[in-house]
Amino acid sequence: MANVLAAASHQLAAALGLEKREARLEARVLAACAWNVEPAWLIAHDTDTLSAAHGAAFESLLARRLAGEPVAYLTGSREFFGRAFQVTPDVLIPRPDTELLVELALVRLPPDVPLDILDLGTGSGCIAITLALERPRGRVTAVDRSSTALTLARRNADILNATVEFLDSDWFAALAGRRFDLIVTNPPYVASADPHLNRGDVRFEPVSALAAGADGLTDLRQLIAAAPAYLMPGGWLLLEHGWDQGEAVRTLLRHAGLAHSATWHDLAGHARVSGAQLSENFTLGRSAAPPVSAE
Ligand code: GLN
């Protein structure tokens, strides 16, 4: 078995340009998935001879990975905020960057207060489910317009024992009359001609979850303009966006009449999340409140 894994990691390193360590790890993850065992089992069975069936199962997964398919789609799982989420090609693969959005949300959610929380475009459900589990008193609603995504998100909530209200909704469409203390979203925000869409894992992800018009701001613009009508006074809107979109997003937030707009950076040092707050005395229908900036 050791020689099969060694050969596979060489192939992975060459085909995908991975570091040696990363390639060895991927080979082990794929083998554990193909054989339905824990990665630790592989170490203990290093010298075993592979059965033809096990060999074939591994080769077929390896071939798909060599052709570029993301590991998360092959294994069907990805960790987010310390929990395993099922993923399929119907949803974006949860990214560590998005944990920043969760952390900023948690800071605004005192554990003992029952607040209403909304996640727009929930995909796998990783943000909504994490917030529901971290804040059991919170009432979390999550929407998506993709029924396959909603089915998967519901399954993740079941597996992880989270209580989330899932709704089939194109952004705010099904939420008329409702208001939330916190709205979070990781919408599509990549410019549709960005070469990033043709590289690596991203090629296999749903383009509807990634691309948002010529400047990548189509959905962010629409969400920010609509959000004040769905926020409680004092409620926060937090949005993930591209590294170069912070200033544009803060401007949109101010134009929507939201206060205290700010941008936060992810672990890689990229501007990644911006947000703002509906003033306590905001009156809907009034023209935008004077811009307030706290960057
Ligand atoms: N951060 C993601 C990427 O660069 C994009 C995620 C999104 O559009 N919401 O691939």
Task: Quote the ligand 1 centre to 210 CA distance (angstroms).
Answer: 6
How large a percentage of the chain has pLDDT more than 90? 88
pTM: 0.92
pLDDT digits (tens, 9 = 90+) for 276-292: 999 987 555 444 444 44
Q: Whose CA is nearest to atom 10 of ligand 1?
A: 202
What's the pLDDT tens digit per position in 46-92?
888 888 999 999 999 999 999 999 999 999 999 999 999 999 999 99
Q: Average pLDDT in the 142-147 region?
A: 98
Residue 209 near residue 188, CB atoms below 8 Å: yes
Question: Measured in angstroms, how far is the CA atom of residue 164 from the centroid of ligand 1?
Answer: 24
The SS3 call for residue 272 is: strand
The pLDDT assigned to 286 comes to 44
CB of 190 sitting under 6 A from ligand 1 = yes
**pLDDT value of position 295:** 42
Find residue 83's DSSP bridge partners: 80
Closest residue CA from atom 9 of ligand 1? 188
Nearest to 192 by CA among 170, 208, 168, 175: 208
Mean pLDDT calculated for residue range 187-193: 98
- The first and second tokens of residue 109, run together, are 């959610």
